[in-house]
Structure 1
Amino acid sequence: MDDVFGTPRPPLRVGLVGYGLAGSVFHAPLIAATDGLVLDTVVTGNAERQRQAAAEHPGVRTVDTPDALFARADELDLIVIASPNRTHVPLARAALEAGLPVVIDKPLAATAAEAQALATLADTRGLLLSAFQNRRWDNDFLTVRKLLADGTLGEVQRFESRFERWRPRPKGGWRESGDPAEIGGILYDLGSHLVDQALALFGPAVTVYAESDVRRRGAEADDDTFIALTHAGGVRSHLWMSATAAQLGPRFRVLGDTAGYVKYGLDPQEAALREGLRPGNGTAWGAEPESAWGRLGAGESPLTGGGEPVATLPGDYPAYYAAIEAALRTGGRPPVTAREAAAALRVLEAAKTSAAEGRTVHLAEDDVLAATR
């Protein structure tokens, strides 16, 4: 990347903490594909993952501990935290105190209060802090956002969003742990995406109702959860997240007073990254076949031919790190702010309370106002 005078600028050096699924499949490939960024160091104490990182990203350094990374803080320009959820807050605090901007994989923290405290620390030190909410760049979400911007659906009344899987046997690991310190369970895993998308589209929530269950034998954490939100603007969002859905529902169903949009299937980018495909290698990144397009119409089911197909916009996960690079260069706003992450966490906390107590939770007015800032 060149500066305003056409002089090449050195790439910003990125340290990545964690090389499990999030680090190896999402963050490292997207960082490596971003003009102006270079993956400098990967932190993992696992020798096999160190070898994997070195093979997949020739020239990258590997270290065993975050402390070894922070000891070189003056040689780095950004820290990305893709380690287990329980480590997000302490590692982010340490990075910010070392003077480093930070990207944190979702969920940014366990609570909105922790997220707000990190945001305040980042602001005090004049450092970027962003949550990796990559699902804002899913192909179907970008298509829904465009339909809303164009007014194609009229006034939206109900938004339905599902992230469902059929995994009848628990896989184990910290994501399915019942230990609250691990911040596991499907509410914080998939719900972080669904709630963030709903708030990004329709603004802050004023009421939250949830049902949450542990359905699989041997499971410790919630694996089947439903959330109903009422947004300040009047839209109602119904959000399903499940590992026990024997039949998968539509990814999106958006109902307006003019038309509705229904879309099945998942954005193809995660599958492509898992298969080793990379943005910029000549493939039509984020594109899907016409057979997977959603349908727009009124009065009929899309499954019986109702409505018209709507071309799905290409998904664009690379846009997240491109925006991070631009924000670091210019001092501008990151693509997802820590306070936006705090607003989503406030809803997730309310959902936990609602499910546990069997009641609708009304968010305090000051919480709603804070979510809009």
Structure 2
Amino acid sequence: MQYRRYIEGLRAVAVLPVVLFHFGISAIPGGFSGVDIFFVISGYLTSGSLLDDLERGQFSIVNFYWRRARRILPALVFVMLLTCIAALFILLPPDLRGFSLSIIATSTFWSNVFFWKTSSYFSIDAALLPLLHTWPLSVAEQYYIFAPILMFLIYRYIGKRWLTTLLPIILCSFVVAVMATSLAPTAGFYLLPTRIWELMLGALLMLKCPSPLGNRLLMESVGVAGFGLLAIGFFAISASDPFPGYNALYPCIGTALLIYVGQNTPSTVATRMLEVRPLVWIGLISYSLYLVHWPLNAFAHYLSFQKLDPLMTGAMLVASLALAAFSWKFVEQPFRQKRAFTSPGPIFAFSALAIVVLCAGGAAGALG
């Protein structure tokens, strides 16, 4: 797929509010909605990769999961190992047992279900759970169990009728998400059925891309509207508002609009804003930044027993950026390059071994 520089900037726009929200910056009460931006981006990019395979006649489930493993697992395993070491020295025995169970859930990509059963995302004690932030990874990986097969079936047997087949699923998932905000808010926040529409919105944007508007002013207005919707999500929504559901439309539609104007030429002001170097750099390290920031936050809260002061918050932000840059450079990048150890065999062996070791460690901690 063609490299899209503005997507990196959009990733930065997603991850920074999440990090600041988690670090207790009250000026961004809806920073958690950055996760929804990631869902739309993930659906968009992954569907594009699958579509490339389908159109070249090279569709392969094995290759799809090989690419996913190279993208997701190295940094995740690295951060989990660091988190486990820190937990051994910091957590008290009862908390260590709960953490050990979360290791098993995270390693097998069921942490969203685990935290649905054990903790509300917005509860006070949630800030003490070092792996709470892994729930979106589990949602995404559960989605990608069936999404490639669904795309293959639609492409091969339904004549690429993307809108006809995906739109009903999107609408049903959105209706379930809206209903869940009042009937089962915690389940609605964590579980896949209420998040499918966000991932599929990105997928549909890739697979059935609307034609560019003929008027330059209209295209510029779409970009402004995209940023405006993201701003509403960040600044007008808070933890006390029903979410997801109607309120998730702001970050998701805003992201879709910015992707839409970004993939068309000539570039708009909004696209050029997303392509500035600082945002692109943060976007490049965004996955590692998301992974490392929350354990730092959780352990700091666990040790302090009080709200963190601005100096400590600033120190955690600097430490998060430094660790993320290290992880991106020395963990993520080597596994994305074509080397002997990044071929399918070694990657799948590494993945299986990492999952087994983490689960065994989690079981030992839970039973110890």
TM-score (norm 2): 0.27
In proportion to residue count, which structure has more strand? 1
In proportion to residue count, which structure has more helix? 2
TM-score (norm 1): 0.26
